[in-house]
Structure 1
């Protein structure tokens, strides 16, 4: 998927992209590749692959779960790495108020520079583990939307993310192929943490065999105070 195909594919989903936004994605690609030479951000470096597997992949929630994306919402991206999915979402929906949580300072330094070069506003970077941030009163149950992409299995991911979602808000997980088993295994965790599975959608990225699953979870009740547990515990002792 080259930059022009990216624009065309978005238009099929009624997402009109301006010349300025096109330029922002071009800058994003350039900065990603340059920084990747010295900081390990991604193993995907070919332009057509970055546009498909990073940029397009990141914005699929906008048209798959379009009903939950409203102007001015607060969005927290957990373990964003090189900024996926939150920065592509922010480029296409500038009114989003974005908070990015990551545990690696080098990645946040890249994002800080990137945000300046893309002229993005209302983006906060938080250095920390998701478990610690989820217990911080400033961030706990503070967000309309919480996203995570390729961070952990659904049970562990739910403990990282659902405590950050405000009641009535949504957690969106961007998963790889065939996440059905993960979803079944995560039912207890979702219930304990206050979430309810609304839907999951399987699809293939355009002109490829890349399979993806998007998961939408609504926060229907407050998360018990003990969650998330201390750093490392969700992975060692998942809620099952």
Structure 2
């Protein structure tokens, strides 16, 4: 086995702890992903985290932990909004190869890098979109067409809900990955979530093995269609949150 057995074990234990299989092929994809991320990061800003072990814990394992929410394992078509360096979408794809994943980011340079990474780690059924979430949410081929929308983007939950909920099918889920202190943000987003056709289902606490990092998954179920006028045009949600 190449490289560190400890990295294999870290990833494997994290996967098993959320009830998912791990093997050499998946390990090799993660290691290749890590190396490409580091290479590309010198030219295009993808991550502030550049140490091997930190990348594995704070990006890969953190992304995998999204599967602590069991129904997500059954999602066939998922979109990752504001994917940045590919999180959580690419780790989700590596660990659940049968998923179809769309990665959306507003920075063209980042999307080009992600295309290169995807080609090199050899995954299928991942497509990339360069653009703003608000624009594509109105497109018939994307609106309410996904079993789940995931996001680790750094935006307030009320704003993020307006970007993400329009993509979710009724009966599907929006899973927002958030930091440790989330209660207040959730309370403030309650109205927006309701207006957009969502309903807060639960908050799941996530710990990362071998670290003191803990995060939250905010689980929002789509219970009715999002009204036509949402999302509002680019820039509006952030200026005037619902």
Distance of 1:31 and 1:43 partners within structure 2: 15
The TM-score with structure 1 as length reference comes to: 0.95
**Per the alignment, in what secondary structure is the counterpart of residue 168 of structure 1?**
strand
Q: 1:101 deviation in Å?
A: 0.9
Q: Is the 8 A contact 1:140 1:165 kept in 2?
A: yes
Alignment deviations for residues 9-54 of structure 1 (CA, whole Å, 9 cap, x no partner): 3223332211110000000000000000111110101011000000
Distance of 2:141 and 2:204 partners within structure 1: 32
Give the corresponding residue for 2:9: 4
Alignment deviations for residues 101-122 of structure 1 (CA, whole Å, 9 cap, x no partner): 1110111001100111111111
User: What are structure 2's unaligned runs of at least 5 residues?
Assistant: 1-5
Q: Is the 8 A contact 1:150 1:176 kept in 2?
A: no
Q: 1:203 deviation in Å?
A: 3.2
Give the 4+ runs in structure 1 shifted more than 3 A: none
- Establish whether residue 135 from structure 1 lines up as the match of residue 138 from structure 2: yes
Give the corresponding residue for 1:116: 119
User: What are structure 1's unaligned runs of at least 5 residues?
Assistant: none
Map 1:60-139 onto structure 2 (within 5 A).
Answer: 60-62=65-67, 64-70=68-74, 73-139=76-142
Q: Is the 8 A contact 1:173 1:214 kept in 2?
A: yes
Give the corresponding residue for 2:225: 222
**Per the alignment, in what secondary structure is the counterpart of residue 229 of structure 2?**
coil
Q: 1:61 deviation in Å?
A: 1.5
CA-based RMSD:
1.2
Give the corresponding residue for 2:3: none
